[in-house]
Amino acid sequence: MSFNTNTWNRLRYTLYLPIYDLVADRIFRRYRKRSIELLQAKPDDTILIVGAGTGLDLPYLQSYTRITANDITPGMITKLKSRAEKLGVPFEAHVMNGQQMTYADYSFDAVILHLIIAVIPDPVACIREVERVLKPGGTVIVFDKFLPDGQQPSLLRRLFNQVASTLFSDVNRSIGTIVGHTSLQVELNEPAAFGGTFRIVRLRKVA
């Protein structure tokens, strides 16, 4: 049984909003920067951020002009808009479910998935949507915590995950298994925060 639903996430992220940046900014700052560098987007590329939160990625996207962001929590989008205005980053933002996006097929050159694949209730639905809206040859950058591919979580870890996935994020997801439901190719998978528990993974949609 899972408590990880869109309704629950909308509620808890509304509650976390006042302290979100205190927790998620400083410790992940250098990995966000590294991840966006590895995206290797061109200045006029169309870029989508799924589950964009308060917009902590925006300081590293100031040289891009065609950014779209979405999140299921309305309060997150309000905070993201005010950050973008302060930074002068032009963008569009939508309250939207990352598992069922309303963008047309082949809309984006690049997609950013930072700290969303381990949070969203159905990561396979999300990555399939990302594949759908990505242009052929486009890239996806993922930054998140993953169980190593092929590793089975222990009973203790599965029990702990009941709490972790409800209050923070799932600790038992494997990026290879999730991406395996698409035809996206893994181009790079490098260790990031907490001794490599967090990874930066670049995916490409074959042209």
Contacts to ligand SAM by CB under 6 A:
6, 9, 13, 24, 51-53, 56, 70-73, 76, 97-99, 114-116, 119-120
- 79-95: burial string, b at 16+ Cβ within 10 Å, e else: bbeebbeeeebebebee
- Cβ neighbours of residue 175 under 8 Å, at least 6 residues apart? 117, 142, 144, 146, 149, 186, 189, 199, 201
Nearer to ligand SAM, 94 or 137 (CB): 94
Q: How far is the CB of 206 from ligand SAM (least distance, A)?
A: 26
**What is the smallest separation between the CB atom of 49 and ligand SAM, expressed in angstroms?**
7
CB of 150 to ligand SAM, least distance (A): 25
- 5/151 with CB nearer ligand SAM: 5
Shortest gap between Cβ of 180 and ligand SAM (angstroms)? 21
Please, which residue, 101 or 184, has the CB nearer to ligand SAM?
101
Q: Which residue is nearest to ligand SAM (CB)?
A: 53
Distance CA 147, CA 176 (A): 10
Lateral strand order in the sheet of 46-50: 91-95, 66-71, 46-50, 108-114, 134-145, 198-204, 185-191
Specify the residue, 34 or 206, whose C-beta has the smaller distance to ligand SAM: 34
Distance of closest approach, residue 177 Cβ to ligand SAM, in angstroms: 19
Cα gap 63→131, rounded to integer Å: 25
DSSP classification of residue 199: E
Contacts (Cβ under 8 Å, ≥6 apart) of 160: 171
Would you tell me how many other CB atoms lie within 10 Å of the CB of residue 167? 12
Question: Least Å distance between CB 155 and ligand SAM?
Answer: 26
Query: In the complex with ligand SAM, which residue's Cβ is closer, 13 or 146?
Result: 13
CB neighbours of residue 111 within 10 Å: 27
Q: Which is nearer to ligand SAM, 24 or 186 (CB)?
A: 24
- The residues that bridge with 94 in the sheet, in sequence order, are 70
